[in-house]
Structure 1
């Protein structure tokens, strides 16, 4: 078989189709471990591979999607994971006979990653490494990490793969109809993070049919990264007691042809697709050219069809797990907020020593509100366990802000703790010209797909003259390139000296900045506020120096975003340097009438502060409301205490603050402004307030809003969605009886007999084969208690299907499940 990278340039690579449904056609029983057939029925697995190869597949994927230790625990087979993976590759290699490439299929663990669940980055890496090590001994040609809904889990699997092997790795995420993943990641952010980590192909699979994938694929196609898509054969329907995918092979192939025209390098099938789907897919794509890959694959815009370049050079791309920012000389200046730094902040230092992150969260939120694009995170101070705290801070910040982080520390081990748990693409601050520092830090930057700040200094300190600083910067940039770090991902800091102590050298940083731009072609950053340290009138000095630096081409100033003068200077400079086209942002900021500044000019006071006088109960109530919206459970207790002390009653707080806040969260979730992480954080903040209020409630108010039984039905071992529903329902005041996964209907009816007051049962199913079991369970529940309501959900469920199997309600997500519970119990009370 030809080399994969050569095929991607010449023609569209055809992957195989579904494995699970083909196993079922050959006798796999509901609830049986599919990967176990690699040991018990290898000839039938081999037969499936051969069928896809006869249909024209260039790549066959091993029967190992769920062959990780965590998934196999559900079948009591975790101790045989190594054997299953090794045998799966052997079977596929035997079937291919050199006619097709063999891809090791690696699926998710089914657990939520930190900070939203209990699976740590390290444990996830270990689990994936175990699976891959065994399989690699049998010699697969590539690895496909697929059906990932959590970007952090995809990162863990990809980093494990890159540590173990030099073979190509493809990664596909699963997106919902909203265009985002379950956790709120958009297609471009996924592509940026995964390609920066070294993925050889990036794309999307499962969840949707080919007709629903065009928009996400179009967004990804703008980058010089090979793309792969593997759609389902439409949405399943229940026919004669079994789930059937209705998209015909012909229709599937025609839809995929449209995707190919957008620009892909590989196409295959996911759930419901068969060898016939792949045969017709091969036929319709015959002769079609793949997505053109110009120059080095990576985070660069693709060239136009006429050969002209779209790339903005240099261009740095940073992102959180939900939002992407572009930094280039042609874009408006992006700023790095510098407020998360304990230097000179006694209150913040004491809080950090006690493990409290209140000040960090407040400063992050205030900087975001003020307009910062990136947040510098420095938590180093005497008496602080910086390594442990960096991990905690990075995990927590991801739950409250969607801005990229700049991880700032002199300790390489501290930076690695943050890099491991950060699900986006971070900027590392910093590396200097010391050989020891470069050798220790640059491999970490490469491994975790980050960008890096290069300080124009070495072990001898900061040179006085610009020429020496540029010489050191050049050395760092060239060394970074030796490690495979692109020049555009190295941001040079020419280092600002304070005017109060070294006035004669203050302008050397700006002179060096100009030289770096001209000679090295790198983006630049400066810590502007350093210039005024120890002097009065700091804001005025900072503004003047910032103006000079921007005129010299500064790209990423590190500043205090709460200083209004900073924004006035930046917006004016953006106009004068051509970064703000047609002065659009400048005009919007200042307003159009008489040149008077608009309300946007005013900087909001920090949370808890008043512009004039003391806080009123209404002010405190607004802050508590905002705590729920922003998921800040860590400060809710203090605000609640003040609010109760101001005479606000517990019931008033519930009716006037908590309930309306949760309703607004729900609206934002439905509008796509909030995603699952924000929903969880807001619900947990509300639950924290409820918990504190229980002490003040009358006894008759302490009852839960109602009991709900939750279960994943018999034969289905997937419960990540059900677990999310449990968290949200509990935090909305319902008592949840969680029966787990693979639950027989008898166990559910027994639970209902134990608790005759239960009015709602929630059933979940991810697999199409579980739908008949769900239908039987609903029938058993109704036979026991016709008045008990049943709500169903899961990846394969639809509203028409829910109605067909006798469910009372369908919930497309956790929040809709809460609404169903409210409807059921409110109706009963009425």
Structure 2
């Protein structure tokens, strides 16, 4: 597979900083106030060799323009016109950046709200030649933007996300999840921009080239910022040398981000037109959440317990919308070893179209496993797939013509894998041969919807052996044939034993036989040890468990105690798992025998410390950290209510001022720090974003503050942070100052004379403890 190297542009901010003009809070308004300057930037990049120039529209969203004297529409349209005037021979891109809001479930900004914002941007930028969605860190926000672009425009869509050196984004999205999700949703080219330099990006491009056949974009910064100045010092010639390596790694769209300029583009333009050879990669056969992705080759157990059939407590939870109970069942299945969870909400009195997406969102706020959405209602499947963060599976379609016409377009649009039942209008065939023929019929129809062979999981169906003993063999024979043809096979294994005593015995035997016959996606009760023992043993025997690592891990010692049932969870465990409703109930019960301070010190703080330690160790990621923080907030809520009733006062561990410095409108990181600190018992005065230094100083003086937290995301606002620190140091009783943000380093924090550099929210807790416990 041959691809041709094409040249993108470089940074806009670098040129604006060097121009000497005052950069406004919304740089896109320069399209109206400094049109000649904006046009000249496009002209300079075109002269340097850019073939695609990004319009100055990166932050032009309705949300950010709420209080502007200009409209986002006129700024977007003007930006495209100016870019086209400056670079008439180039393709002009509508440049779309993140909205600056923390998305659900970590924040309160919903998927639907984000989609509406991006829709308006896309409609306003319809005169562009292509759409570029860039500098994204949240896969959910990226999906909202990509869907809006695909549903309201026919333009090609390029997407780049910002990854750290650990191959995860700020919100912990994996490279695999990004690659598979964006390709499945129809992006025309994908890759990376910002955050790191070209040298650090090489391995990521190499890895991405093994995950997708799409053209790969590489738009790195000019190296990493100098720790003492926060500026980029890499030369254009050094940048070119690394960009050569990026092209060799597989990048065919190359340009620059922070710190680059037309001089950098002039250097890399030497690579224009170069041919690169790439291996073709099959895109199908993957499912993922933002945090976890896997290819469905090999054995992957699917947890079956998120299903109301025959489960009165589950049915009650659905009717009462007790989603915490359902989440607890999901957690138990994850801990028992499930790789994927089947989710079914079909029950009389439950509106599946509303409940399935609601449950999907709740599950994804706590569980990192991919989900399989299970419904006979196509509208419910579409509603769930639309809000799902990543790539889910859909269960199910059959060989019935109407069913295929309803479900296959959904799988195609959202890139879902599809469970295909080997039955038609006449029911389940008695013979393996007929079931395989129906599978072929489904596969032929699926090809018309561009669903690949790897996207199809065939279920030859299990009939109970108590009434149809000959059918077990037919199911096994169908598994053998479908597996031999290269299909993934899925099966609800426990159906085999309905109506028989000692059901687990026959189910376990049939599971073992099915795995040998080619079943790789068994739907089972993963909480039954004998089933998981069979799967772990089969993985070893089928050479999927190298050096018997998983087998030894499971059986080398006595098994751990079984996971606690929902009803016996401790408060610490409920908070750790992020079960807000359950944590509140347990907290209310604790307050009957414990004082509020005891609940905080003996239950909440140890649990939050455990979460923080696991977050620092890479066991948990940002979504789980915030989910636990929200569960703790539920408990603090009932503690506050208790104190109000009893007339007691709640003691604060100390008051902290937090602010994003003047000129910077990003406050996602600050808000995360606020949430976590509040859970540790600190009172937070949140001054918001774009806060003048004088406002911060006056607030500190008026409240006798001992700790201030300052945040900045843009290099252009670091002088404002330094000014704020200097003014705070001039106070008669200066506070301790901690600083954080993407552009900061410990060395630069020290240069600015900050007392602490906080790398994340948990580090902020450590700093707060040190400040308030040592005074």
Counterpart for residue 608 of structure 2: 662
Tell me: CA distance 1:95–1:658, structure 2 relative to 1, closer, same or farther (3 Å).
Answer: same
Tell me: CA distance 1:40–1:789, structure 2 relative to 1, closer, same or farther (3 Å).
Answer: same
Matched, 1:317 2:247: no
Alignment of 1:644-659 (within 5 A): 650-659=596-605
Counterpart for residue 719 of structure 1: 667
Give how far 1:398 is off. Answer: 1.4
Counterpart for residue 819 of structure 1: 766
Alignment of 1:553-564 (within 5 A): 553-564=518-529
Matched, 1:66 2:59: yes
Tell me: CA distance 1:514–1:553, structure 2 relative to 1, closer, same or farther (3 Å).
Answer: same
- CA distance in structure 2 between the partners assigned to 1:572 and 1:769 by the alignment: 57
Matched, 1:763 2:710: yes
Matched, 1:95 2:82: no
- CA distance in structure 2 between the partners assigned to 1:224 and 1:356 by the alignment: 40
Counterpart for residue 495 of structure 1: 461
- CA distance in structure 1 between the partners assigned to 2:536 and 2:764 by the alignment: 46
Structure 1: which 5+ residue stretches go unaligned? Answer: 1-7, 300-314, 592-597, 610-614
Greater Cα shift, 359-368 or 570-579: 570-579
Counterpart for residue 217 of structure 2: 228
Q: Give a deviation string over 1:654-684, Cα, whole Å, max 9, x none.
A: 3333222222222222222222111111222
Tell me: CA distance 1:286–1:412, structure 2 relative to 1, closer, same or farther (3 Å).
Answer: closer
Give how far 1:493 is off. Answer: 1.0
Greater Cα shift, 354-363 or 655-664: 655-664
- CA distance in structure 2 between the partners assigned to 1:499 and 1:571 by the alignment: 25
- CA distance in structure 2 between the partners assigned to 1:59 and 1:603 by the alignment: 59
Matched, 1:112 2:93: no
Tell me: CA distance 1:245–1:367, structure 2 relative to 1, closer, same or farther (3 Å).
Answer: same
CA contact (8 A) 1:182 1:675 kept: no
Give how far 1:468 is off. Answer: 3.1
Q: Give a deviation string over 1:138-163, Cα, whole Å, max 9, x none.
A: 241x2211000100011111112222
Of 493, 503, 507, 1:542 maps to 507
Give TM-score, length-normalised by structure 1: 0.88
Alignment of 1:153-552 (within 5 A): 153-225=141-213, 226-237=215-226, 244-283=231-270, 285=271, 289-290=275-276, 292-295=277-280, 298-299=282-283, 316-328=285-297, 331=298, 333-518=299-484, 521-552=486-517
Give how far 1:457 is off. Answer: 1.9
CA contact (8 A) 1:320 1:403 kept: yes
Greater Cα shift, 632-641 or 179-188: 632-641
- CA distance in structure 2 between the partners assigned to 1:604 and 1:430 by the alignment: 32
Of 609, 613, 633, 2:580 maps to 633
Give TM-score, length-normalised by structure 2: 0.94
SS in 2 for 1:228: strand
Greater Cα shift, 386-395 or 485-494: 386-395
Alignment of 1:529-608 (within 5 A): 529-581=494-546, 583-591=548-556, 598-600=557-559, 604-608=562-566
Tell me: CA distance 1:536–1:451, structure 2 relative to 1, closer, same or farther (3 Å).
Answer: same
CA contact (8 A) 2:250 2:278 kept: no
Counterpart for residue 77 of structure 2: 86
- CA distance in structure 2 between the partners assigned to 1:807 and 1:444 by the alignment: 53
Q: Give a deviation string over 1:157-180, Cα, whole Å, max 9, x none.
A: 111222233433221111224331
- CA distance in structure 2 between the partners assigned to 1:272 and 1:445 by the alignment: 41
- CA distance in structure 2 between the partners assigned to 1:763 and 1:608 by the alignment: 41
- CA distance in structure 2 between the partners assigned to 1:723 and 1:752 by the alignment: 19
Give how far 1:286 is off. Answer: 6.4
Count of equivalent residues? 772
- CA distance in structure 2 between the partners assigned to 1:366 and 1:373 by the alignment: 12
Tell me: CA distance 1:790–1:572, structure 2 relative to 1, closer, same or farther (3 Å).
Answer: closer
Counterpart for residue 703 of structure 1: 651
Give how far 1:334 is off. Answer: 0.7
SS in 1 for 2:222: coil
Counterpart for residue 737 of structure 1: 685
Alignment of 1:44-55 (within 5 A): 44-55=37-48
Q: Give a deviation string over 1:79-100, Cα, whole Å, max 9, x none.
A: x2222222322322333332x3
Give how far 1:10 is off. Answer: 4.1
CA contact (8 A) 2:94 2:128 kept: no
Tell me: CA distance 1:643–1:538, structure 2 relative to 1, closer, same or farther (3 Å).
Answer: farther
SS in 1 for 2:286: strand
- CA distance in structure 2 between the partners assigned to 1:370 and 1:71 by the alignment: 45
SS in 1 for 2:465: coil
Q: Give a deviation string over 1:426-459, Cα, whole Å, max 9, x none.
A: 0111112222222222111111121111111234
CA contact (8 A) 2:105 2:623 kept: no
CA contact (8 A) 2:659 2:710 kept: yes
- CA distance in structure 1 between the partners assigned to 2:381 and 2:20 by the alignment: 51
SS in 2 for 1:771: helix
CA contact (8 A) 1:110 1:718 kept: yes
CA contact (8 A) 1:410 1:430 kept: yes
CA contact (8 A) 2:462 2:472 kept: yes
Give how far 1:39 is off. Answer: 2.9
Counterpart for residue 305 of structure 1: none
Matched, 1:12 2:16: no
CA contact (8 A) 2:94 2:131 kept: yes
- CA distance in structure 2 between the partners assigned to 1:251 and 1:267 by the alignment: 15
Counterpart for residue 303 of structure 1: none
